[in-house]
């Protein structure tokens, strides 16, 4: 039987097998030759002291032990080519994991995605970055894999109560992610690796009899006697099914408008909104690791920070070490920012959304829109930013200290945001209460992270798609919409998830409840 140990070692010891073996041998008082193999089970960074250490949980195999390597395989999927059908709207993590769960349970998914497959999306991403052209059906938010495909691929969630996180991680490994995601305390995949994983998921769905239809926009629901009968797509074609899992993501505004127009119950939901701040990664490393140079054995440092400012939470969101800022508008006439990192997180800049929690009363100027008030609040800021920055995909930008002093920056250095920036006083982008909280909040951040509050940091506005501004209600037990039988609101777009893992878990849960209702 292998021996499990909890260790705290220097970064170079954690990185080099021979040094780790020597360390373990000293720790257990044996010869290194007595150790056959060491498997790292969990890994995290402890940067609380001046000398950064790595926390390891390891399994030590000795000479007489049989070394067992962890093997991850697929569940037992069934051929569902001729089985009963369920429509899944959206090919993001919620939609694809719902589809795979349906196949595992013997039901045929028909996945409908308004955008293109991962390969086809690349051309439209190039157009928004280079030519400032936004395709409303194919962009950083819409298309195969949803917003998560061209993102950092963060797999960390605090939502342990939502479901089995390890099951989702193991499925991702089966589809090609490195087994490191099972080990790291804050795992991520990287935007360069996610597209292939999503493509392989699609191929598995099709292999076992499911369907995935791209460039298929849902424009209406077929409802009879308060029960779903199917959906209308692409100007009139009807796809029939008695169950629909609605997993459209947090930016599918036309779906919210459709539900509202058909008087299908939806609710305004608070969310958070702010800016995306970019620092040199070397500066964040210096702050977090308390050193001038992090060395070759430590990864680019992340950060997480939260403050209460004027009674509101202001906090970092979707922090991307060694990453870039991307244009994430989903319609012409607006600008939106988000961030992502490649798997190696090897870019020279670090960025994070810095956002302020909003309340339903903040949407009062838009109360005539009813449940869509938050969405219209969000939209108004994105459209104002578009106008202020010059009516392209360039974003309003300001140096951090200048912003806190209400001073237009004389110059904005080149940032990782490819479409470019326009120097703007960001107080013109946001409502006054939001501007004031951020002005004070950045100074408070600087007190906790010495060096963070600097004019080297460039603020890009807005970071506005943190979560859905609408919740589509559902029953606690059945997960069905309370008004429309057979409709299952799911994932981020319905207000029940916040990231790849929680969306995937929610997709599986909706699929399970959907199948139970078919029995």
DSSP label at residue 366: G
Asked whether the CA dihedral 143, 145, 149, 152 is positive or negative, the reply is positive
Query: pLDDT tens across 364-419, in order?
Result: 999 999 999 999 999 999 999 999 999 999 999 999 999 999 999 999 999 999 99
Reported for 299-302, long-range contacts at CB under 8 A and 24+ positions apart, including other chains, are 299/45, 299/345, 300/345, 300/346, 300/350, 301/47, 301/350, 302/186, 302/350
Do 444 and 450 touch, CB atoms closer than 8 A? no
Domains of the chain: 3-62 (3.30.70), 85-266+469-517 (3.50.50.60), 270-463 (no CATH)
Mean pLDDT across the stretch 315-326? 95
Which pLDDT does position 153 carry in this prediction? Answer: 66
Mean pLDDT across the stretch 107-135? 96
- Please give the full DSSP string across 138-204, using - where no structure is assigned: BSSSSSTTGGGTTS--B---S-GGGS-HHHHHHHHHHTT--GGGGTBSS-B--TTTHHHHHHHHHHH
The model's pTM is 0.95
The torsion angles phi and psi of 197, rounded to 5 degrees, stand at: -65, -45
Q: By mean pLDDT, which of 112-121, 151-160, 301-310, 329-338 is the weakest?
A: 151-160
Query: pLDDT tens across 181-193, in order?
Result: 999 988 888 778 8
Alpha helices (H) along 449-499: 491-494
Which pLDDT does position 161 carry in this prediction? Answer: 53
pLDDT at position 154 over 90: no
Instruction: Read off the tokens for 468.
Output: 């859905």
Query: pLDDT tens across 249-264, in order?
Result: 999 999 999 999 999 9
Query: pLDDT tens across 70-102, in order?
Result: 889 999 999 999 999 999 999 999 999 999 999
Which pLDDT does position 318 carry in this prediction? Answer: 92
Calculate what percentage of the chain has a pLDDT beyond 70: 98
Strands across the sheet with 458-463, in order? 306-309, 312-320, 349-357, 272-280, 458-463, 395-399, 421-423
The torsion angles phi and psi of 232, rounded to 5 degrees, stand at: -105, 130
Q: How many angstroms separate the CA atoms of 481 and 264, rounded?
A: 9
Confidence of residue 357 (pLDDT cuts 50, 70, 90): very high
Mean pLDDT across the stretch 123-136? 96
Strands across the sheet with 108-112, in order? 211-213, 108-112, 85-89, 244-246, 487-489
Query: pLDDT tens across 473-498, in order?
Result: 999 999 999 999 999 999 999 999 98
pLDDT at position 151 over 70: no
Nearest alpha-carbon partner for 452 in 404, 419, 486:
404
Do 124 and 139 touch, CB atoms closer than 8 A? yes
Q: How many angstroms separate the CA atoms of 163 and 100, rounded?
A: 16
Vertex 481 angle, CA 211 and 486, to 5°? 45
CB atoms within 10 A of CB 207: 11
Confidence of residue 305 (pLDDT cuts 50, 70, 90): very high
Confidence of residue 1 (pLDDT cuts 50, 70, 90): confident
Confidence of residue 155 (pLDDT cuts 50, 70, 90): confident
| CA distances for 229 relative to 85, 213, 242, 484, 515, angstroms | 11, 19, 5, 10, 16
pLDDT at position 162 over 60: no
Q: At what angle do helices 93-104 and 500-518 cross, to 10 degrees?
A: 40
Do 257 and 247 touch, CB atoms closer than 8 A? no
> Who has greater pLDDT, 513 or 149?
513
């Amino acid at each position: 039987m292998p021996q499990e140990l909890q260790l705290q070692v220097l970064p170079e010891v954690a990185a080099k097998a021979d040094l780790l073996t020597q360390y373990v041998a000293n720790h257990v008082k044996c010869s290194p030759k007595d150790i056959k193999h060491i498997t790292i089970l969990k890994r995290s960074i402890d940067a609380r002291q001046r000398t950064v250490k790595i926390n390891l949980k390891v399994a030590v195999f000795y000479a007489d032990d049989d070394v067992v390597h962890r093997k991850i395989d697929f569940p037992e999927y069934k051929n569902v080519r001729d089985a009963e059908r369920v429509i899944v709207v959206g090919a993001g993590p919620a939609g694809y994991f719902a589809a795979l769960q349906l196949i595992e349970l013997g039901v045929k998914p028909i996945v409908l995605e308004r955008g293109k497959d991962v390969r086809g999306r690349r051309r439209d991403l190039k157009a928004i970055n280079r030519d400032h052209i936004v395709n409303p059906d194919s962009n950083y938010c819409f298309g195969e894999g949803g917003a998560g495909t061209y993102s950092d691929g963060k797999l960390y969630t605090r939502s342990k109560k939502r479901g089995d996180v390890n099951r989702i991680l193991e499925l991702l490994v089966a589809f090609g992610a490195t087994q490191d995601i099972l080990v790291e305390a804050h795992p991520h995949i990287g935007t360069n690796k996610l597209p292939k994983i999503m493509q392989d998921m699609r191929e598995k769905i099709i292999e076992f009899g499911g369907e995935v239809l791209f460039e298929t926009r849902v424009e209406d629901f077929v409802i009879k006697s308060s029960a779903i009968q199917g959906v209308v797509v692409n100007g009139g074609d009807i796809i029939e099914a008695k169950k629909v899992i609605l997993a459209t993501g947090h930016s599918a505004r036309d779906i919210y408008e459709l539900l509202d127009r058909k008087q299908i119950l939806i609710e305004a939901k608070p969310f958070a909104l702010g800016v995306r701040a970019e620092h040199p990664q070397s500066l964040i490393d210096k702050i977090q690791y308390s050193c001038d140079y992090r060395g070759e054995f430590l990864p680019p440092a992340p950060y997480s920070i939260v403050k209460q400012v004027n009674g509101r939470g202001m906090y970092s969101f979707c922090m991307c070490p060694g990453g870039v800022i991307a244009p994430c508008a989903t319609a012409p006439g607006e600008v939106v920012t988000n961030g992502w990192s490649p798997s190696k997180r090897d870019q020279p800049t670090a960025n994070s959304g810095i956002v302020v929690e909003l309340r339903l009363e903040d949407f009062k100027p838009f109360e005539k829109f009813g449940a869509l008030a938050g969405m219209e609040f969000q939209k108004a800021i994105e459209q104002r930013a578009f106008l202020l920055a010059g009516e392209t995909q360039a974003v309003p930008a300001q140096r951090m200290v200048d912003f806190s002093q209400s001073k237009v920056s004389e110059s904005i250095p080149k940032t990782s945001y490819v479409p470019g920036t326009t120097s703007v006083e960001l107080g013109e982008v946001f409502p006054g209460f939001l501007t004031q909280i951020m002005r004070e909040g950045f100074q408070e951040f600087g007190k906790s992270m010495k060096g963070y509050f600097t004019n080297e940091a460039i603020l890009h506005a807005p970071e506005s798609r943190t979560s859905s501004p609408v919740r589509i209600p559902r029953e606690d037990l059945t997960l069905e919409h309370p008004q429309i039988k057979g409709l299952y609101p799911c994932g981020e777009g319905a207000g029940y998830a916040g990231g790849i893992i929680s969306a995937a878990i929610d997709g599986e849960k909706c699929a399970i409840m959907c199948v139970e209702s078919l029995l």
